[in-house]
Amino acid sequence: MAGRLKMDELILRHLNGEATDVEQRRLENWREASPGNEVRFLEARAIWNGPGALPRGPTPRP
Amino acid sequence: MEERNPTSAEMADVSLARIRAGEPGAFERLVEETWDDLVDHLTWVLGSREAAEDAGQEALIRIWERRERWHDGSARALVFRIARNLAFDARRRERVRREWADREAVVAKAGVEPDALAETSEYEQRFREALEALTPGRREAIELVRLKGLTHQEAAEAIGISQQTVANRMTLALADLRVLLADVLPQLHIGTEPARGRETEDG
């Protein structure tokens, strides 16, 4: 449970455009590790961004 | 007998009759007597002093231009009534203008079809309803970061808590939203993304 919440924290940082390069790679590895992880990521992204017709990737930050 | 200055109400009542009669100086006295209170009140209604001054000015101009129509009564009350109506009209127009501007901006940015836009609006409505079910702290964190576009650090400074606490609240809020929005998740096309090549879209 704690591990899941930690990954959600990372997902949220990614969706808000705040993840570092290291965190990005960690997230990518986690997503590729299992279909369940990928679904969990896509669910979070869908909740954050809304309908898929409006893909809104992370906002680049300076 | 000692002279006393008339109260505002007395003066305003007299002013309306005087204004109708075109008595010199009556309108100027009405402006002088009501302007500050009028603008303060309209600023509260409209949230902008500049817009309040515009509405107040328009109300006073109408009083003057239509003076032949007025019967007895309080000029001050009439000014406020006209000005409030103008202010509410202005607020409605501004709300409609903003809503359309938002819709156009979404369409222009994403190039989406009207159906997709409606879908987005419906989702935003559900999203905001779900937010209402969150605890105040979690809702505040999501509102600042997701809706207002703040970073975790900026949100932490705005609330006066640590960045980690913001992250914790956001994470717990996401867990709540997964449950609260579970019924709409299948409609959000979450499974359409290819497994590879997603780096471009997601960063």
Residues of A in contact with B175 (CB under 8 A): 5, 8
Top mean pLDDT of A35-49, B76-90, B123-137, B167-181 is at B167-181
**Is the CA virtual torsion B108, B109, B110, B115 positive or negative?**
negative
Q: Lowest-pLDDT range, A19-33, B36-50, B64-78?
A: B64-78
pLDDT at B183: 83
Q: How confident is the model at residue A22 (pLDDT cuts 50, 70, 90)?
A: very high
What percent of chain B clears pLDDT 90, i.e. is strictly above it?
A: 12
Is B128 in CB contact (< 8 Å) with chain A? Answer: no
Q: B144-182: per-residue pLDDT in tens?
A: 888 778 888 888 888 888 999 999 999 999 999 999 988
Is the confidence at residue B116, as pLDDT, over 60? no
Is the confidence at residue B197, as pLDDT, over 60? no
Beta-carbon count within 10 A of A57 CB: 15
Q: How confident is the model at residue A53 (pLDDT cuts 50, 70, 90)?
A: very low
Residues of A in contact with B134 (CB under 8 A): none
Least Cα separation, residue A24 to chain B (angstroms): 8
What percent of chain B clears pLDDT 70, i.e. is strictly above it?
A: 72
Cα separation, B150 vs B188, whole angstroms: 24
pLDDT at B34: 86
Average pLDDT over residues B69-92: 80
pLDDT at A29: 93
- CB B172 to CB A5 under 8 A? yes
A9, A38, A43 member nearest B185 (Cβ): A43
Is B111 in CB contact (< 8 Å) with chain A? Answer: no
A12, A50, A58 member nearest B170 (Cβ): A12
B13 vs B186, higher pLDDT = B186
CB pairs under 8 A between A and B: 92
- CB A53 to CB B171 under 8 A? no
Q: Name residues 13-52 of chain B within 8 A of A (Cβ).
A: none
Average pLDDT over residues B108-137: 74
pTM over 0.90: no
pLDDT at B171: 94
ipTM: 0.81
pLDDT at B2: 43
CA distances from B2 to A25, B5, B71 (A): 88, 10, 31
Q: B32-68: per-residue pLDDT in tens?
A: 888 998 898 888 878 888 888 988 998 888 888 888 8
